[in-house]
Amino acid sequence: MKKLLVSLIAFIIVLSGCSSGDSDQVTIGVLMPTQSAQRWIQDGEYVTELLEEKGYAVELQYAEDNPQTQVSQIENMITKGVDLLIVAPVDGGALTVPLSQAASANIPVISYDRLLTNTDAVSYYVTFDNYGVGVLQANYLVEKLDLENSKDSLNLEVFAGSPDDNNAQFFYNGAMDTLKPYIESGALTVPSGQTDFETVATLRWDAATAQTRMDNIITSNYSDKKVDVVLSPYDPITLGVISSLKSAGYSSSDLPTTTGQDADVSSVKSIIAGEQTMTIFKDTRLLAEATVDVVEKVLNGEEPVVNNTTDYDNGNFVVPTITIEPKAVDQDNYKETLIDSGYYTAEELGV
Ligand code: BGC
């Protein structure tokens, strides 16, 4: 009887082990920078959905723009024994220590949209053509304002992203390299004189910081002139700049020509309403797909196909990269680009 009981208990233990089925499940740790921006929420959702479809377990965490939180999150994930990490850093250079711990634990790391810098512990980088984002923004301005032929000089103000995000410098360089000839020819003037990256950068992409900077620029430089053009790298910064201009008395119809990035719902609505002029659409569904493809290849010991082996030097080495093409969106093409592609419904955009 006792023997029977022991075998029965052993049988139940084995069964319960099997029925969980989870013991062999591969777990992917996904670290995103913040939930305060719409795009990162979408990124988290798409990546999780695709990984789960492929049978992976997912640990998704947001660091709410705090680099130290992200350090702890990576350490915890290593302790829990995740099999691979996908990281979109808050501060690209702040994760050297936890990433070297991941390397020691043989956990591969994929850099997601933002480059992980000052580390050897990154296998691949999956992102958009970041320099291309800036070029698209600037070329849009060149064409829209006909800068090739303009006789008057237009007043431009320049904003950039967060200095601890490697992308910010790429966006800025792409845009400023393209606008430079027009600044030199006088087709564009920058009344504030603020054009170098350090001065125009916006820590943590914070819209309120940009709004305050715009308030100060208007007060100090625009008592007798109007802002005609604003180069903004990011939709919430653009909306912050627009709020500042409105507080200074600009009406919807005399706002400057503005750029943006991410095709956030609030900004697309603003474009439809004729306030913000354009944005850059980065299809995060494609980014998620490309990333999950890299995850599978890395875990199967295969080599993903990369398309950029020159541009993304992270301070330690040039990280093999997959880039996806961004697209300019304005009033003329938002329907086909954002609604027909199924990215948003007409209801979400209020049309
Ligand atoms: C991303 C942009 C985003 C910005 C702010 C960048 O790293 O590439 O798409 O607008 O961060 O979140």
**Band of residue 8 on the pLDDT scale cut at 50, 70, 90:** very low
pTM more than 0.75: yes
173-205 confidence digits (pLDDT tens): 999 999 999 999 999 999 999 999 999 999 999
| Distance (Å, whole) CA 13 – CA 86 | 34
What is the arithmetic mean of pLDDT over 9-38?
70
Taking the centre of ligand 1 as the mean of its atom positions, its distance from the CA of residue 235, in whole angstroms, is 10
Atom of ligand 1 nearest to the CA of 282: 9
Burial letters 52-90, b for 16+ CB under 10 A, else e = eeeebebbbbbbebbbebbbebbeebbeeebbbbbbbbb
pLDDT of residue 73: 98
Kindly report the protein residue whose alpha carbon is nearest to atom 5 of ligand 1.
Answer: 205
84-138 confidence digits (pLDDT tens): 999 999 999 999 999 999 999 999 999 999 999 999 999 999 999 999 999 999 9
Instruction: Give yes or no for residue 48 having a pLDDT over 70.
Output: yes
What is the arithmetic mean of pLDDT over 156-160?
99
CB atoms within 10 A of CB 147: 20
What is the arithmetic mean of pLDDT over 260-271?
98
Percent of the chain at pLDDT > 90 equals 92
* Cβ neighbours for 84, distance < 8 A, ≥ 6 positions apart: 26, 28, 29, 107, 108, 109, 110, 295, 298, 299
**Band of residue 151 on the pLDDT scale cut at 50, 70, 90:** confident
What is the arithmetic mean of pLDDT over 22-42?
92
Taking the centre of ligand 1 as the mean of its atom positions, its distance from the CA of residue 258, in whole angstroms, is 17
**217, 192 contact by CB (below 8 A):** yes
Kindly report the protein residue whose alpha carbon is nearest to atom 6 of ligand 1.
Answer: 167
Residues with CB under 6 A from ligand 1: 37, 39, 113-114, 161, 165, 167, 205, 234, 261-262, 282
Instruction: Give yes or no for residue 5 having a pLDDT over 60.
Output: no
Ligand 1 site-directed mutation target among 31, 261, 265, most atoms within 8 Å of CB: 261
Rounded to the nearest integer, the mean pLDDT of the chain is 94
Taking the centre of ligand 1 as the mean of its atom positions, its distance from the CA of residue 285, in whole angstroms, is 15
